[in-house]
Structure 1
Amino acid sequence: MTPPDASDSRWSDLGRPPLSADALRRALVREGGLWTSLDVVPSTGSTNTDLAARAEGLPEGAVLVAEEQTEGRGRLDRRWSAPARSGLFFSVLLKPTEVPVEKWGWLPLLAGVSVATGLSRSAGVDTALKWPNDLLVTVGSEERKAGGILAERAADGVVVGIGVNVTLTEEELPIPGAGSLALAGAVSTDRDPLLRSVLRSLGQWYGQWRDAGGDPAACRLQEAYAVGCATLGRTVRAELPGGRSVTGEAVAVDGHGRLVLATAEGVQQPVGAGDVVHLRPGPGPGAAHGTEE
């Protein structure tokens, strides 16, 4: 018998073992639950793209996980890359038909709360959210991005893609300032229980939000997001579409999921889209001209 290629062997990388689709299905897919199917593929360009292409023919609750993404995308079309089996790369299909479409904008923030909650429980790391849905961890004394979320409309629902760096080393980080759960001192980097915890957390928060008709205050999603948001209380610069920018103190997340900035002119400016840069306070009253974190 010809031995299998070492690179394809289940035990080719003992530090980064593969996920078991069967075990995950047994734990997560059940009658009456949110998750209706779960597939794991060795590699794909983008789980969001793949799931969106099949969304019309799938029931709500489909989950697609990839051991590796070669064309992963984040917000603002940023690229997301990581070695195979070094993180959690997956997408879920949600069809909240009971919720008014104008409230669907809360889904990426809901996913952020779910990921942060699930990973805090299962990995034992302190996590925070940078508005709207970047996952932050602390490495040493430095705040770093370890994950992100991308929500996209698909057929009659929304595909939510989630990527989290789990075991990446300093040498493997895609950009300076990135982080991983391992670098943040996680007590566990076993991706199976991490993924289970995140999906269970997502199912719980989604159910509460859907049952409340999408009202983020009634289901306490707005409160939970504010508690875990590292952006609030800081001076930030919001880089808006069209090349404009607004600088001010982030004072709230409103009922539409927008970040509210208090500017030096005394105006409270809601920001619904764009890139937010955390700023370190500068000397004196010109804090808004501090350096970027």
Structure 2
Amino acid sequence: MTPRDASDDSRWSDLDRPPFNRAALRRGLLRDGGHGSLYHDLEVVQRTGSTNQDLVDRAVRGDAEEGAVLVAEEQTAGRGRLDRQWTAPPRSGLFFSVLLTPAEVPVRHWGWLPLLTGVAVATGLSRAAGVDTSLKWPNDLLVTVDGQERKAGGILAERAGDGGVVIGIGVNVSLREDELPVPTAGSLALAGAVTTDRDPLLRAVLRSLEDWYGRWRRAGGDPAVSGLQETYAAGCATLGRTVRAELPGDRSIVGEAVAVDGDGRLVLATGEGVQEPVGAGDIVHLRAV
């Protein structure tokens, strides 16, 4: 699907959800024309299928460089992990992707990028929205609504050619209860956010991502040296819980989530006394320990 420009006349159809101010976002993020900043280009489109797919395609064609940011007011074919659909009303959330090319970091550490992004998103939103956020391994953003843990956002990382990774981020900002795709979903508004103005929220998340990505790169991707492993564990709601890991091949494991190891895998202590690392799969929180 071809992206449509954010100047579309329908942008004022919901005055409670104003469009992004592209000029202000660029002024705030593309410092000195991109010099000294991770971000060198930021585009806002009115509607597209998937910002991740668009940016992956551009990177593969050589039409995008590291730090390119693509933001959509609406996604019609947004995707989460395991090709799950991500839908939300126009201008109700943050739907954007960033191209990263961590050439100086060994590829074995690239698996930390979704977790790094989770830390950055949670940190940025906690500061800007005043909402207590936590992370469900590996890449879900959780908020508390009426005493219940709900998913308000997610992260999807996709390879873009040999040297790039596109990180896609989706966060429900102003969704009301009757707009939620499933009862277990949430939004910043429902969690009591002090603001649902998406401009400062997006700036806060992107600045936090720039900060954490810089630390991680300077440490050669080492999650311990960069402080990423410790910070992720501190904000991970999965640790200390009894969980079920639903693995490829219709296999599942139940155990206590006891650690996130140096490769970013979730370590489960099973009832048989075995510690088993999980690198991919769906995690279901069963109960607190």
Bucket of the pairwise TM-score, normalised by the shorter protein:
over 0.9
Give the one of 214, 222, 228 matched to 1:207. 214
Say whether 1:46 aligns with 2:47: no
Paired position in structure 1 for 2:154: 148
Amino acid at match of 1:154: A
Say whether 1:233 aligns with 2:235: no
**Superposition pairs for residues 118-129 of structure 1, below 5 Å?**
118-129=124-135
Cα deviation, residue 10, structure 1? 4.6
1:117-171 alpha-carbon deviations (Å, 9 max, x no partner): 0000000000000000100000010000000000000022000000000000010
CA distance in 2, matches of 1:20, 1:46: 20
Give the one of 84, 91, 116 matched to 2:90. 84
Cα deviation, residue 55, structure 1? 0.8
Give the one of 93, 99, 102 matched to 1:96. 102
Identify which range, 101-110 or 54-63, moves more after superposition: 54-63
CA distance in 1, matches of 2:54, 2:241: 37
CA distance in 2, matches of 1:10, 1:181: 22
1:194-253 alpha-carbon deviations (Å, 9 max, x no partner): 000000000000000000000000010000000000000000000001100010000000
Q: Which 4+ residue blocks in structure 1 deviate beyond 4 angstroms?
A: none
Cα deviation, residue 9, structure 1? 4.8
* Aligned CA distance change for structure 1 residues 83 and 10 (closer, same or farther; 3 Å): closer
**Root-mean-square deviation (CA), in Å?**
1.1
Say whether 1:279 aligns with 2:280: no
Paired position in structure 2 for 1:3: none
**Superposition pairs for residues 65-76 of structure 1, below 5 Å?**
65-76=71-82
Give the one of 167, 170, 173 matched to 2:177. 170
Cα deviation, residue 11, structure 1? 3.4
Paired position in structure 1 for 2:40: 36
Amino acid at match of 2:146: G
Cα deviation, residue 8, structure 1? 2.2
Which ranges in structure 2 are unaligned for 5 or more consecutive residues?
1-7
Paired position in structure 1 for 2:3: none
TM-score (norm 2): 0.94
Matched positions, count = 276
Say whether 1:189 aligns with 2:193: no
Give the one of 257, 261, 264 matched to 1:254. 261
CA distance in 1, matches of 2:184, 2:12: 31
CA distance in 1, matches of 2:88, 2:170: 10
Cα deviation, residue 21, structure 1? 1.3
CA distance in 1, matches of 2:139, 2:287: 20
1:77-131 alpha-carbon deviations (Å, 9 max, x no partner): 1000000000000000000000001100000000000000000000000000000
Local SS of the residue matching 1:252: strand
Identify which range, 230-239 or 11-20, moves more after superposition: 11-20
CA distance in 1, matches of 2:53, 2:30: 22
Cα deviation, residue 176, structure 1? 1.5
Cα deviation, residue 14, structure 1? 1.5
CA distance in 2, matches of 1:151, 1:271: 18
Which ranges in structure 1 are unaligned for 5 or more consecutive residues?
1-6, 282-286, 288-293
Say whether 1:18 aligns with 2:19: yes
Identify which range, 50-59 or 142-151, moves more after superposition: 50-59
CA distance in 2, matches of 1:179, 1:134: 12
* Aligned CA distance change for structure 1 residues 21 and 203 (closer, same or farther; 3 Å): same
Local SS of the residue matching 2:158: strand
Amino acid at match of 1:259: L
Q: How much identity, in percent, do the aligned residues show?
A: 76
Give the one of 105, 122, 134 matched to 2:140. 134
